[in-house]
């Protein structure tokens, strides 16, 4: 699962919309997803295929139905690679600031 | 028929046995999860999820439902305060399969109560745990502290 396929899959507004729909309600069928999109079944199916290739959507077979789930793990991997480190230093700065201000406040009291 | 609530999938460049070992061995889970999964791992046995720090706080408990190495592990999953109330227990299934030279790990967490604390916790929790496990097995280094 390379980052390229994740970014390519996310670069399309319809595919992001599909992810939003699955976040709101997991385990939807193709039919359920189509009902809320003004698009042919085939086009929706192709978009879902791209999302599945990028591992952003995972599917489970239930009898004759195929249920779709949002899989946030690849996005978390991207987050961990580029963002988490910076967030941590921001959080540390805020924590130090809080400790400093609270210390000063206690000093005054 | 119950729909799974959450299905998480990650692909890891490591053999299924390594991933299996990483799920059930306290010395390994502590590295990427900062918790230990402790049990004798027999179907029907109790399992515990404890903090890997000095306090070793008991965070989760449950029963091992199915133990089929290195393919399928099913456990119930509950807060210690709900241990006696089986209706409140959620269920976690780990499935490990080889796909085109890599290993696919699927975690399904179901039987969750809508709006429960458990549901909130796992929404953020599983992606972190799985990314950290992947990083440990592939790069030899887990993600920095998760919690």
Q: What is the pLDDT of residue B126?
A: 92
Question: CB A27 to CB B143 under 8 A?
Answer: no
Question: CB A69 to CB B128 under 8 A?
Answer: no
User: For residue B80, what is the domain's CATH number?
Assistant: 3.30.530.20
B74 bridge partner residues: B66, B93
- In chain B, the number of structural domains is 1
Question: CB B9 to CB A71 under 8 A?
Answer: yes
Question: Does residue B144 belong to any structural domain of this protein?
Answer: no
Q: In the structure, what pLDDT confidence band is assigned to residue A76 with cuts at 50, 70 and 90?
A: confident
For chain A, domain boundaries:
1-71, 72-109
Cα–Cα dist B26/B49, whole Å: 9
- Complex prediction ipTM: 0.71
Mutation to test the B interface, candidates A19, A26, A27, A73, most B Cβ within 10 Å:
A73
Mutation to test the A interface, candidates B6, B9, B126, most A Cβ within 10 Å:
B9
- Topology of domain A1-71, per CATH? Arc Repressor Mutant, subunit A (1.10.10)
Question: Does residue B146 belong to any structural domain of this protein?
Answer: no
Q: What is the pLDDT of residues A44-73, one digit of tens each?
A: 999 999 999 999 999 999 889 999 999 999
Q: What is the pLDDT of residues B63-83, one digit of tens each?
A: 999 999 999 999 999 999 999
Residue B1 has pLDDT above 50, yes or no: no
């Amino acid at each position: 699962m390379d980052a390229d396929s994740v970014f390519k899959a996310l670069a399309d507004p319809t595919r992001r919309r599909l992810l939003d729909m699955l976040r709101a309600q997991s385990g939807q069928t193709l039919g359920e997803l189509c009902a809320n999109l003004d698009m042919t079944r085939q086009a929706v199916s192709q978009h879902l295929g791209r999302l599945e290739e990028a591992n952003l959507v995972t599917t489970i077979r239930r009898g004759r139905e195929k249920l779709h789930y949002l899989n946030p793990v690849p996005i978390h991997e991207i987050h961990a690679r580029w963002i988490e480190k910076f967030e941590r230093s921001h959080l540390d700065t805020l924590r130090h600031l809080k400790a400093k201000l609270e210390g000063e406040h206690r000093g005054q009291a | 028929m119950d729909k799974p609530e959450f299905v998480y999938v990650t692909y890891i460049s490591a053999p299924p046995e390594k991933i299996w070992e990483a799920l059930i061995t306290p010395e390994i889970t502590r590295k990427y999860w900062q918790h230990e999964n402790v049990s004798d791992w027999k179907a029907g046995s109790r399992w515990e999820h404890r903090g890997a720090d000095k306090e070793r706080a008991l965070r989760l408990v449950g029963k091992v439902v199915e133990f089929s190495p290195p393919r399928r592990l099913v456990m119930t999953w509950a807060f210690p305060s709900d241990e006696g109330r089986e209706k409140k227990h959620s269920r976690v299934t780990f499935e490990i399969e080889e796909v085109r030279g890599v290993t696919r790990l699927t975690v399904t967490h179901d039987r969750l109560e809508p709006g429960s604390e458990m549901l909130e916790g796992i929404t953020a929790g599983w992606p972190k745990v799985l990314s950290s496990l992947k990083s440990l097995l592939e790069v030899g280094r887990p993600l920095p502290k998760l919690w």
